[in-house]
Amino acid sequence: MDFLNQIGPIGAYILAAYAGIKLTFTYICKIVVVRTTHKGVVFKKGSEIRILNPGFHFYMPLISEVDIFPTVRQTTSLPPQAISSNDGEAIAARAVIVYEIKDMKAAFAESWDIEDTIVDIGMVALRGVITTKPSDTIFNEQLALDDELTGILKAGQLSRDYGVNILKAYFTNLAKTEVNSYLSEDTVSVLPKRS
C-alpha cells in the first residue's frame, strides 16, 4: 500500500494502464510480421485455418497458433540411395529438388513437415527413374534423367495434394556402387565401386 501512496493516483493509473497493455499483448492480442518471402498459417481453435499474407497481422494467442514459413524458391537435397538399374547394376544416386510453396493450406495443413514430404516423394520418384533404365543410359543421358525426374515430380502428388510447385529436379551424383548393409537400417554405407 505504501507503494501506491508514493506513486499517487496518476502513477497508479499509469501502472494499471501498463499492466492492461502488457496483459492484452501477452495473452489476448499479439502482432506478427510476415516477411515478403513468407506466408503464415493461423490455426484457430484447433481446427480453423487462415492464411496470412506478407504484412502486419493481429492474432489471439489464447485461441490460435501462428506458424510462418518461406514460400519462395527453396532447395532440398535427397539423401543418397543405392538402387539397381534395370540391367542389375548398383547405382548410387543423389538429387536436388528446387521448389516453391504455392498453396500454404495444402502444404502445411495436409503434411506435418512439408520438407520431409518432399524428400519422401522425391526419393520414390528418383528410384522410379533409375530402376527403369539400363546403366549405360543412366550415365550417358543425365540431362534427360533430370527432365524425367522433374516431369514426374511436377505431375505428381506434391503439386496435386500438397501445394508444392516443382521448379526443377537435378541428379547431383550418379555412380556405380557397392552396398554394405549392417544390422541397423540406419547404417547403410554407399561406397563407390572399385575397379
Percent of residues, the chain, with pLDDT higher than 90:
54
How many degrees, rounded to 5, is the angle at CA 127 between CA 104 and CA 90? 150
Q: From CA 79, how far away is CA 116, in angstroms rounded?
A: 11
Q: From CA 60, how far away is CA 55, in angstroms rounded?
A: 17
182 pLDDT band, cuts 50/70/90, is very low
Class level of CATH domain 74-192: alpha beta
Query: What would the pLDDT profile of 18-61 be if each residue is shown by its tens digit?
Result: 777 776 666 677 889 999 999 999 988 877 889 999 999 988 88
Question: What 3-state class would DSSP assign to 143?
Answer: helix
Where along the chain do its domains lie? Answer: 2-70, 74-192
DSSP letter (8 states) at residue 86: T
Q: Return the residue matching grid coordinates 496483459.
A: 23
**Three cell numbers, residue 186:** 540406419
Contacts of residue 50, defined as CB under 8 A and 6 or more positions apart, other chains included, come to 41, 42, 44
Question: What 3-state class would DSSP assign to 153?
Answer: helix
Whole-structure pTM value:
0.76
Dihedral angle of Cα 87, 89, 95, 101, to the nearest 10 degrees: 40
Query: What would the pLDDT profile of 65-82 be if each residue is shown by its tens digit?
Result: 888 999 999 999 999 999
Q: From CA 126, how far away is CA 121, in angstroms rounded?
A: 9
Q: What are phi and psi of 56, to 5 degrees?
A: -95, 140
